Copies of this chain bind each other. A is one copy, B any other.
């Protein structure tokens, strides 16, 4: 009869083959563009952080930030650590997207990826120096269904344009997964991870859970609406949007002025949605 302690003393995990595990993060930010007129609000664009790979494999190609998990942390902590290393910003929240474990997805060997979406506010990123020659850059994102079940993902940064094509694989339980038709020069299976991350983001944004993380503590309702519209790729009537979010926000009494039109009240997120 072997006791549990005796068993554990003898136990060798090395008897079994093990995968390496990475946490890869699709970090999104919503950027406001150039002011085209002194009083017109600028365009807002969804952008995604990509890293140019400095070493093999996929050397010189763009990939999601990520890294190998260590034994003294959870996968979520690893994901947060990777984002902070690249942006110096601690994301307000991260959300799991799924595990990517297709055999052969990494030419280095058996490496599976646990993917996350994170959301970073433009305010916090602005404080970090943005080096144009850096290997980390924010790409503008466009993601649309071209025909039934076929999606085009376009990522652009200055004159670099990455065009990936994806086929919807399964839509079970609100988490859509994709097969890569054309990787668009993105490293590994990262095109599929990005597409799944975008779908997860949109799905979460349906219930106003996600949106606030893109904004500072105090915000105007039209800023909030812009964020929501940018994520969901839709447009809404301001009057209706106000009604819908009214449960989740509260007035601060402060106003934002100086924009060539009526000042807007600043709101903050309400901890407990009421009414």
CB distance from A99 to the nearest CB of B (A): 5
| Contact across chains for B209 and A172 when beta carbons are under 8 A apart | yes
The answer to whether the Cβ of A38 comes within 8 Å of any Cβ in the partner chain is: no
Task: Encode A169-201 as 1/0 by CB contact (under 8 A) with B.
Answer: 000111100000000000000000000000010
Task: Encode A87-127 as 1/0 by CB contact (under 8 A) with B.
Answer: 00000010110110111000111111010000000000000
Task: Encode A186-230 as 1/0 by CB contact (under 8 A) with B.
Answer: 000000000000001000100101100000000000000000000
CB-CB under 8 A from A109, the residues of chain B are 11, 13
CB-CB under 8 A from A175, the residues of chain B are 95-96
Chain B residue at minimum C-beta to C-beta distance from A59: B4
Task: Encode A15-26 as 1/0 by CB contact (under 8 A) with B.
Answer: 011111100000
Interface size of A as a range: 35 or more
Majority secondary structure of chain A interface residues (helix, strand, loop or mixed): loop
The answer to whether the Cβ of A75 comes within 8 Å of any Cβ in the partner chain is: yes
- Once bound together, how far apart are the Cα atoms of A230 and B90, in whole Å? 41
Q: Which of B17, B70, B112, B204 contacts A174 (CB 8 A)?
A: B204
CB distance from A42 to the nearest CB of B (A): 29
CB distance from A21 to the nearest CB of B (A): 6
Task: Encode A69-98 as 1/0 by CB contact (under 8 A) with B.
Answer: 111111110000000000000000101101
Asked whether A8 and B99 contact (CB < 8 A) given A20-B13, A21-B21, A209-B173, the answer is: no
CB-CB under 8 A from A11, the residues of chain B are 56, 108-109
Q: Which of B18, B72, B74 contacts A21 (CB 8 A)?
A: B18
The answer to whether the Cβ of A160 comes within 8 Å of any Cβ in the partner chain is: no
Most chain B beta carbons < 10 A, residue from A55, A96, A101, A110: A101
Q: Which of B4, B20, B56, B74 contacts A4 (CB 8 A)?
A: B56
CB-CB under 8 A from A98, the residues of chain B are 96
Binding site for B on A (CB under 8 A): 2-4, 7-8, 11, 13, 16-21, 55-59, 68-76, 93, 95-96, 98-99, 101-103, 107-112, 114, 172-175, 200, 204, 207, 209-210
